[in-house]
Structure 1
Amino acid sequence: MSSLATHFSAFIFLFPIGIRRLLCSFSLYLRNPSLYRSKTWYSSEPRWKNIDLYFLLIALPIASFSWIFLFLTFSGHPTYRFTFFNQAAVTLIFWVFIILVILRENFDPFLINEGMLFIFAGIAFLIEYSFVGKGFTGLGSHVYELLAGLTLVCAAACFYLSFRPTAFFAEVVLSSGLIFKGTWVLQAGLSLYTDTFSLKGCHKISLSRSLDKINEQCDLEEDSLRGVALMDLLFAWHAVLVLVMSFTLFGVLSCNRNLRCGEGAAPSLADIDSESMLRRPLPEFEVE
């Protein structure tokens, strides 16, 4: 988390994944609520539609190696230098998760249990939680604490889904949490690493400065307190927008079946009942 570019890259990864999960989970639930089961990844047919999954397979190791390169070349304070290494490790863990998902989808699905994948994802989120915002104080620390809270919510949802995959509410929490993480990490990048969107009385974070200068992000204590209050307000606005987006998407999918995800195209309860009635043998009558 060292620049606006890295925050924007995280937004590109998280936001589309959250939207896709929300779309597919809503579609699957609306088609057949009684048979709903959450999935670690909602695949599409034909296979080429899963291009986002294979994009992550290529992009995540590139991002991880970029963090390692920054770790090797950055000559600043050791606290921030090892932040690059921590981010590389977290990115690599999620890359392993993508590999496990692909192995499950293309080979024996019983070899890699769905619950195990959720547990693996939950552990990955917990590792990320332990690294988020380390070394920052003041306004930057508060912003990253909120991001860490979202990461902890995603981890809890993964662990809950690992033993209860039918919990639709937990799936909505996980998907909305990913969207929220994406929008908030972009907000953090704009507020902390740019002069244009920086808060009044505070300057942008620059890791080229000394440690004391980085921690003293705001000139006055009043500016710091005002900045914390404003970021709390922005966090609440982000939460409201994500909530409204979720309800709107659910309403649109309820009214229009054509917009539903591919896996949501499973036969509905009404279709199953009508089909079973058509296949039911007609009663035989004896002619006297």
Structure 2
Amino acid sequence: MGTLVGHVAPGFGFLVIGLWHLLNHIKLHVQNPKSYHSLPWFPSTKIRYLELFLIMVGCTMSIAMELVIGPDRHQPFDIDGTIPPNHLHNFEHSFISMTFLVYAAFAILLDKFVPKVQYELTQLLGGFAFGQQLLLFHLHSADHMGVEGQYHMLLQILILVSFITTFMSIGYSKSFIVGFIRSISIFFQGLWLMVMGFMLWTPSLIPKGCFLNLEEGHHVVGCHGDEALERAKSLVNIQFSWYLIWVTIFAMSLYLAMHKIYEGRIEYQPLTKYDQDIEAQNKAIKLDESKSFLSMEKAFAPVEMEGSVTSFR
């Protein structure tokens, strides 16, 4: 990150994954409203783990861009083995990618070897990844002040929504709205990263009264005076609000369009392993409840009165 490509490339990845989740969540809910379960990832038709493979490839490329590719990044350490100040942000960005790489790798392993609890554990890993992302952006070593800081503050709000809804999906796996909001937040997160890349590193798009300045090896936006800075921050807020409106319109229109397409074509697909496990657990619970109820009936059954009456005689 810290460049146009460094924001646009990962932003495009988040945007594609968010859109993929949005389409699949809507389709799954429309076709199976009664048996809907929020999934952390969606298998594709030909390559089951295509989504997870793409995440792993994207994260690996991101780590390489931060630590290997680019000027002076082939040697991210000083001669004495310490990390120089101008490379701290590169390590922070790479750790975000590493966490998502771990998420995707374990999602595949859990699906292969522990299918009964894969969804809960995968959601947990996803929550940890978004938590790591939020933490590192909030405690960033780079001085995210001014215009760039305003963009990053709004980005943290989107990450926070992804973080909360991912953990909520563990306990509310049947809630469509939780999965729907999570997908929108990931999509919006990617869109906003791309917007940041273009707006912060394209000279013609820099707000009036501001300029690009080279600091600690990368360009940042500076402004001439407080008035120009406050105006630029306000423009960022307006821009975020504008995109929020359009993302909302897009998501709702997509839901209505897909509902119209799949209306009357409800497919009752065979139960997945997860659904079978849940159904077996529910049957076991009902059986235990019925047994306990019968034992209570026997325990509190009315005493035979004839014997009691004769004894008193």
* TM superposition score category, shorter chain reference: 0.7 to 0.9
- The answer on 1:136 being equivalent to 2:135 is no
Structure 1 contact 71–85 (Cα < 8 Å) conserved: no
Structure 2 contact 30–262 (Cα < 8 Å) conserved: no
TM-score scaled by length of structure 1:
0.81
Partner of 1:5: 5
TM-score scaled by length of structure 2:
0.75
The amino acid across from 1:175 in the alignment is S
Distance, in Å, in 1 between the alignment partners of 2:49 and 2:261 is: 23
CA distance 1:49–1:115, change in 2 (3 Å): closer
Structure 2 contact 92–136 (Cα < 8 Å) conserved: yes
CA distance 1:265–1:108, change in 2 (3 Å): farther
Distance, in Å, in 1 between the alignment partners of 2:261 and 2:121 is: 34
CA apart distance, 1:186:
1.0
CA distance 1:195–1:121, change in 2 (3 Å): same
> Secondary structure of the residue that 1:180 maps to in structure 2?
helix
Distance, in Å, in 1 between the alignment partners of 2:246 and 2:77 is: 37
- The answer on 1:115 being equivalent to 2:120 is yes
CA apart distance, 1:168:
1.2
Structure ID, larger Rg: 2
The amino acid across from 1:54 in the alignment is F
- The answer on 1:54 being equivalent to 2:53 is yes
Structure 1 contact 190–198 (Cα < 8 Å) conserved: no
Which runs of 5 or more structure 2 residues have no equivalent in the other structure? Answer: 271-313
Partner of 1:182: 190
> Secondary structure of the residue that 1:66 maps to in structure 2?
helix
CA apart distance, 1:149:
1.2
Partner of 2:277: none
Q: Give the structure, 1 or 2, with the largest relative contact order (CA under 8 Å, sep 6 or more).
A: 1
Partner of 1:68: 67
> Secondary structure of the residue that 1:87 maps to in structure 2?
helix
Q: What percentage of residue pairs aligned between the two structures are identical?
A: 21
CA apart distance, 1:205:
5.2
Structure 1 contact 83–131 (Cα < 8 Å) conserved: no
Figure out how many residues of one structure are paired with residues of the other and give that number: 258
- Equivalent residues in 2 for 1:136-285, closer than 5 Å: 136-204=144-212, 206-208=214-216, 214=220, 217-257=222-262, 266-267=268-269
Structure 2 contact 166–182 (Cα < 8 Å) conserved: yes
Structure 1 contact 71–81 (Cα < 8 Å) conserved: no
Distance, in Å, in 1 between the alignment partners of 2:252 and 2:9 is: 27
The amino acid across from 1:85 in the alignment is F
Distance, in Å, in 1 between the alignment partners of 2:62 and 2:126 is: 18
CA distance 1:164–1:52, change in 2 (3 Å): closer
The amino acid across from 1:248 in the alignment is S
CA apart distance, 1:55:
2.5
**What whole-Å deviation, never above 9, does each CA across 1:52-96 have from its counterpart, x for those lacking one?**
432222231232132123384499x95542111011111011001
The amino acid across from 1:89 in the alignment is F
Partner of 2:92: 86
CA apart distance, 1:137:
1.0
CA apart distance, 1:267:
4.2
Distance, in Å, in 2 between the alignment partners of 1:183 and 1:97 is: 22
CA apart distance, 1:221:
0.9
CA apart distance, 1:44:
2.5
Structure 2 contact 111–118 (Cα < 8 Å) conserved: no
**What whole-Å deviation, never above 9, does each CA across 1:114-149 have from its counterpart, x for those lacking one?**
112212211211111122262211111111011011
CA apart distance, 1:265:
5.1
CA distance 1:257–1:130, change in 2 (3 Å): same
Distance, in Å, in 2 between the alignment partners of 1:188 and 1:101 is: 30
Structure 1 contact 18–177 (Cα < 8 Å) conserved: yes
